[in-house]
């Protein structure tokens, strides 16, 4: 079933039901979508990043991940001041 789901040109969200944690992690890692709902139909919240993959877009909106597209991260190491 994963190959059928991943054959889609879009990948905003995927949903499935399971009570087995090993299956949840295995499917979630392989499912080519930006958001996953496990045993839940409503997964959007302001705290969670919103976005997809493939033709569903690049990047994320919302949460602190939404600003990543607009900033350049710079590392500064100060020694012996």
| 55: CB partners within 8 A, 6+ apart | 9, 10, 11
Q: How confident is the model at residue 1 (pLDDT cuts 50, 70, 90)?
A: confident
**pLDDT at position 61:** 81
Q: How confident is the model at residue 31 (pLDDT cuts 50, 70, 90)?
A: very high
Q: How far apart are CA 77 and CA 66, in angstroms?
A: 26
**pLDDT at position 49:** 84
Domains of the chain, by residue range, sit at 2-70
**pLDDT at position 38:** 94
Query: What is the pTM assigned to this prediction?
Result: 0.75
**pLDDT at position 50:** 87
Q: How high is the mean pLDDT of the chain?
A: 86
Cα Rg, the chain, nearest whole Å: 17
CB burial class (10 A; 0-12, 13-18, 19+) of residue 39?
A: exposed
């Amino acid at each position: 079933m994963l190959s059928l789901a991943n054959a889609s040109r879009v990948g905003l969200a995927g949903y499935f039901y399971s009570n087995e944690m090993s299956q949840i992690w295995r499917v979630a890692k392989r499912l080519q979508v930006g958001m996953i709902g496990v045993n839940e139909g409503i997964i959007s919240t302001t705290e969670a990043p919103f976005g997809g993959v493939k033709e569903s877009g690049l990047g994320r909106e919302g949460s602190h991940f939404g600003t990543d597209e607009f900033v350049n991260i710079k590392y500064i190491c100060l020694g012996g001041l």
